[in-house]
Structure 1
């Protein structure tokens, strides 16, 4: 969609595409268009395509012009100038004919009455799918702008995963929008520019399209901070003149050193983009005068061995800055980028940033995935890049299937687009690239989903470390697994990669769905029996009517909604019982729902009172939380006793849950040496486990309070434990702590 939305939309149905007569006789190009210099330059740039392809592109041009006839941009120009500019950018990348045709038509489905079927009829399904992937979901009602944007990005990225040409058109479209946003109001310009920095720049970088990435950054910077852009631009121009002599001296010195070493290669000065200078100033709190490395130097040589020879020659002339050398040839970036990076101390103590690469690496660094089309016949290393991009696009499809909604999917993709990599090794020596700040859990899921799910411990460089430990480049990581281990929800607080986050969430959602469904089915069966209906006797036709009424596909989905508190079991039971073909018996009594307390995410033991087997309990159904179990004496229950009585569930414990439960006790003891050890020993002898202990040291004196979080099998076990503690002479008082 063009940021300069059409200023006028024709009332006549001319936007629906060519009439049948024009389809038969062919569309003629209007005189004002055929004489347009931009159109002629565009057509001339297609000389790498076959005459048949060029003819199809000209037909698409005429079709787009006819569809947009009467529409103008906010600048007053005919609307066709925008798709023409986008198509021209794709021609610069030597994209194929379907991509260029899609660029010419990319707005017709959004801004005119042309349909996908018409595009298919004229230009084939391939082009129609590309245009559809570029079209926003304007016909769907969304709750908010953010939700609409998330769903539109999801649609575009899914289309991109199927066909990379979609994003190539979109990036060219976004660049032209930013170049021509002058007539748009300031707040909208800033929103579009921020969106570009947040989504489109990282996508371009991930695809290795560094040229367009830098252009998008500078254009966005100009729209978000126009005054800062102007001030910094003037400062760079002034510095360019002031430092010309210094730069010439450095260039000559580099060339002389390469000549002395008999190394053939080109040496070029490169000026950093305004946005990268500004970003460095903000990130490191520097003034412009403190940013000494606004200029860098690039050396282009013939082959990889010469790259390392050039590096050695330069290190012999200028002292390298420790820690500022990166070998992206041996370990390429995720987007296929390869180069040697080093920072040297030049004349007058000026730091010099130098990149050394081959010609093939340079093409790949500047054009990225576009080099696949630009240099099809040359060995640019594009094969590895194609494999990497295919793997990344496949990961997008995995994220889509794992994400709960569009907003969650977009969140995962954003994480994935800001890698700033660290490189770590598996025990077998395989290198994995992960985002900076990634943890052991991220590594485990990067190896395999099952490894992540079953992870219980890890070794970094042969030493045991916690699962939350952040990885550093060069670490060798070994994952320890257990067959019955499962993901911990706490992992979500420190994982960094979208893959790990989405896999953990997907697992937890599945577990929640299973446990909620089982709970909901028990609750519904309890209500049905209470009103004299045998659940197994309900005909399938009745269930189908109820599912249609509830808007659910399966009984499992309906049970899960009951278990999660989205609908009430008594209401569903009454609707089922009221059906004519449901057999009835005698009404029974409302029996308590029997629980173990370890059912999973559907049943939660309230942390305020920490009920254990043997305590009188009651359940409260809360949306998104399932059934929360409290003791009868809990203060929360007394406070909320009259609120939403339909959500209160009679529950009881299963006779022998066979598990341990957390309980808090407070033990007041005489302040004597060794008393903590005696108390802890007594607790251990009772068969309980101490999970946590702390001492109340605010009031030192004759007595001290010890606070224990212990694990017991139930109330009888707790009674045995407390009797044992009372036998210790130094123990003055024991209280079970509950709110």
Structure 2
């Protein structure tokens, strides 16, 4: 029954009778719920039905001594979850997994037993659904992130995992009456934040709406009750108007000879509440509570029906959306139009084919449920598979980062943009050219330097709009900028940028760590080349790393002290330190592994000192930096001597304050003097005194070193209106 694009296991061996010698426990074979469930399996073969019955008995026996908080026998829950899976006409393996989804987590049953009785496929599905309770996490958030990661990666291997998980969450939400109110709200919020968006992303519209509405009722029961009463009242007040619109649409379809099903639909409670909250509207101001659907036989008829409706009622400009030509990422297809109905009432109408309607309601599950949606289902399976593959690409990140990236990717709204060759890309609302570059290919994103939108050069942080033609400009030696993380919207772009920055940081940190260790060895009077290979291997083994490069990286990132590593390398605890330890030479432009402190902004010529900060590498300060005064006296072992390379040949930022008399054109004179000194102005701000006699100008300028800064200051002192100049440092590190 399963699609070839979704892996199914070969039929496993039938469970041996000894697995359930007592048969049913809490459940009776005559139980009405059990009988209804078995009767609904009429699309399976007799052999598959027997496997499912065996799974019911196995689950019933495993949960024999467990009850739900409501007092019901536990088996009622797996049976309800399996019932939802059966409604989608899924295969026997998926139904068995739904029946057994809690046995690994809540009972003494092992995965090996499941493999033995139900086959590897069912065991893998159940394992993908089980939480990671046996691992200890630092926080609930970390546990949630890791469970979510495991579920999504299992889902990427087999889509049935998430369908069972959604059915499980749906039934849990419906049976929350006996759960503590705080826990009830937490589970409902988690559903709104994670599971409902996943259902939406997979096109499971019916499930999506039910998860949203049930969660809303659990989080805000009073608001939901008031809103439901208002909806009921509105339904009565507008009944005549809605009937009139419905009849006029049907009459128009008959008039133009279009065979169509026309029916009204009511917006869900949560979507109305969200609109009221987002746009600060009262209930009476939300006019599109009701809408209409027109279901026709084929795509050409959809456009004919659209024309007929526009002839019947005037369309609202800018409110037409063609999701047939450009489907949503979850496979949804329809024509949307908003019309001005009787008495000026806005009327939203969706026009679609029967197959599109199936996909709109059940998403990827339509592939199993409706054979007439085979083509749409196959197309949706390909789209979903691509999205799931992008999840696999993000799994290198830690759990919380992966969790964040995927949540970003579960976007509700999209913009559609074009490449210069006319290819359409769907991106989340607020996406930038950087997001598009990474959507095309990782290498395009990494080498992106600029973008043209509709043939005009724009900043990379520009938000894309529907219909934009976007050209990405690349350069062979360009690299991702950490600042991009502030405005990219897709999880893929965020994940790829972070991966690149981590790799670069590790490479730079490894080089720095090697230099620090070599310096320490020189201080101990040992040449690194003289140390035998066995000693290096001993150091790697003792540190728990895989290679000496990893040890260097740890030293460069401050996770390991170079002095300790050097002594361990020499296998000696007491080696005389050289009287004058050498200094580490830096250029100041090494990148992420060596950073110049923002508080004192050291420049070549300043006496400097360095501190290894965990996760940051070497941070360089001036000797007289006020920020490090206390740390230097209390933790001298954390500081190492650093000196400038003789010719760094680069520009460095430094802050200066210039106090001037208030006079016309004085700012222009100061800026000209700085420029004539060969320095760039990075930033300028000013503040005046209450009497308006003087103004203090705060500059951040670029200089080549201390002597260059002195030259800039000399030139500024030649200006008659300049009263005072001094270099500034921050008392606290920003």
> Once the two structures are superposed, what CA deviation does each residue of 1:591-649 show, in whole Å capped at 9, x if it has no partner?
00111111111111112221111111111222222221111222223354313111111
Aligned 8 A contact 2:355 2:372 in 1: no
> Once the two structures are superposed, what CA deviation does each residue of 1:638-695 show, in whole Å capped at 9, x if it has no partner?
3543131111110001111222111233445565555544544444444333323345
Give 1:15's aligned residue.
Answer: none
Using the alignment, how far apart are the partners of 1:452 and 1:137 within structure 2?
35
1:266 aligns with 2:257: no
* Counterpart pick for 2:199 among 204, 216, 223: 204
Give 2:598's aligned residue.
Answer: 607
Measured at CA, do residues 66 and 736 of structure 1 come closer, stay the same or move farther in structure 2, by a change above 3 Å? Answer: same
Aligned 8 A contact 1:440 1:471 in 2: yes
Give 1:317's aligned residue.
Answer: 312
Give 1:620's aligned residue.
Answer: 611
Aligned 8 A contact 1:204 1:210 in 2: yes
Using the alignment, how far apart are the partners of 2:688 and 2:718 within structure 1?
24
Using the alignment, how far apart are the partners of 1:22 and 1:463 within structure 2?
74
Measured at CA, do residues 463 and 32 of structure 1 come closer, stay the same or move farther in structure 2, by a change above 3 Å? Answer: closer
1:22 aligns with 2:15: no
Measured at CA, do residues 465 and 539 of structure 1 come closer, stay the same or move farther in structure 2, by a change above 3 Å? Answer: same
* Counterpart pick for 2:361 among 362, 366, 370: 366
Give 1:170's aligned residue.
Answer: 165
SS of the aligned residue for 1:629 comes to strand
Using the alignment, how far apart are the partners of 1:671 and 1:236 within structure 2?
67
- Unpaired segments ≥5 residues, structure 1: 1-17
Measured at CA, do residues 679 and 208 of structure 1 come closer, stay the same or move farther in structure 2, by a change above 3 Å? Answer: same
1:135 aligns with 2:130: yes
- Unpaired segments ≥5 residues, structure 2: 1-13
> Once the two structures are superposed, what CA deviation does each residue of 1:349-391 show, in whole Å capped at 9, x if it has no partner?
2221111111111011001000111124544512221111011
> Once the two structures are superposed, what CA deviation does each residue of 1:468-527 show, in whole Å capped at 9, x if it has no partner?
111111111122222222222111111111111111111111111111222122112211
* Counterpart pick for 1:568 among 561, 578, 581: 561
Measured at CA, do residues 360 and 643 of structure 1 come closer, stay the same or move farther in structure 2, by a change above 3 Å? Answer: same
1:345 aligns with 2:340: yes
Measured at CA, do residues 670 and 287 of structure 1 come closer, stay the same or move farther in structure 2, by a change above 3 Å? Answer: closer
* Counterpart pick for 1:692 among 663, 670, 683: 683
1:438 aligns with 2:434: no
Measured at CA, do residues 32 and 108 of structure 1 come closer, stay the same or move farther in structure 2, by a change above 3 Å? Answer: closer
> Once the two structures are superposed, what CA deviation does each residue of 1:381-405 show, in whole Å capped at 9, x if it has no partner?
122211110110001001112x2x1
* Counterpart pick for 1:507 among 495, 500, 504: 500
Aligned 8 A contact 1:218 1:274 in 2: yes
Aligned 8 A contact 1:528 1:577 in 2: no
SS of the aligned residue for 2:468 comes to coil
Using the alignment, how far apart are the partners of 1:232 and 1:718 within structure 2?
68
Measured at CA, do residues 616 and 99 of structure 1 come closer, stay the same or move farther in structure 2, by a change above 3 Å? Answer: same
SS of the aligned residue for 1:183 comes to coil
Give 1:662's aligned residue.
Answer: 653
Aligned 8 A contact 2:197 2:412 in 1: no
Using the alignment, how far apart are the partners of 2:252 and 2:22 within structure 1?
62
Aligned 8 A contact 1:531 1:588 in 2: no
Give 1:12's aligned residue.
Answer: none
> Once the two structures are superposed, what CA deviation does each residue of 1:138-181 show, in whole Å capped at 9, x if it has no partner?
11111111111111111000000110000011011111111112
Residue correspondences, number: 718
Using the alignment, how far apart are the partners of 1:318 and 1:563 within structure 2?
70
SS of the aligned residue for 1:264 comes to coil
Give 1:397's aligned residue.
Answer: 392
Give 1:225's aligned residue.
Answer: 220
Measured at CA, do residues 638 and 378 of structure 1 come closer, stay the same or move farther in structure 2, by a change above 3 Å? Answer: closer
The worse-fitting range, judged by mean Cα deviation, of 709-718 and 33-42 is 709-718
- Which runs of structure 2 are paired with 1:453-464 in the superposition (5 Å)? 453-464=446-457
The worse-fitting range, judged by mean Cα deviation, of 464-473 and 696-705 is 696-705
Measured at CA, do residues 211 and 525 of structure 1 come closer, stay the same or move farther in structure 2, by a change above 3 Å? Answer: same
Name the TM-score, length of structure 2 as normaliser.
0.93
Give 2:727's aligned residue.
Answer: 736
The worse-fitting range, judged by mean Cα deviation, of 707-716 and 417-426 is 707-716
> Once the two structures are superposed, what CA deviation does each residue of 1:516-563 show, in whole Å capped at 9, x if it has no partner?
222122112211221233323333433333334333222222222222
Give 1:535's aligned residue.
Answer: 528
Give 2:177's aligned residue.
Answer: 182
SS of the aligned residue for 1:77 comes to coil
Instruction: Give the aligned CA root-mean-square deviation in angstroms.
Output: 2.5
Give 2:490's aligned residue.
Answer: 497
- Residue 190 of structure 1 and its aligned partner are, at CA, apart by 1.1
1:94 aligns with 2:96: no
> Once the two structures are superposed, what CA deviation does each residue of 1:277-326 show, in whole Å capped at 9, x if it has no partner?
22222222222233232211100011112111111111122122222221
Give 2:518's aligned residue.
Answer: 525
Aligned 8 A contact 1:542 1:579 in 2: no
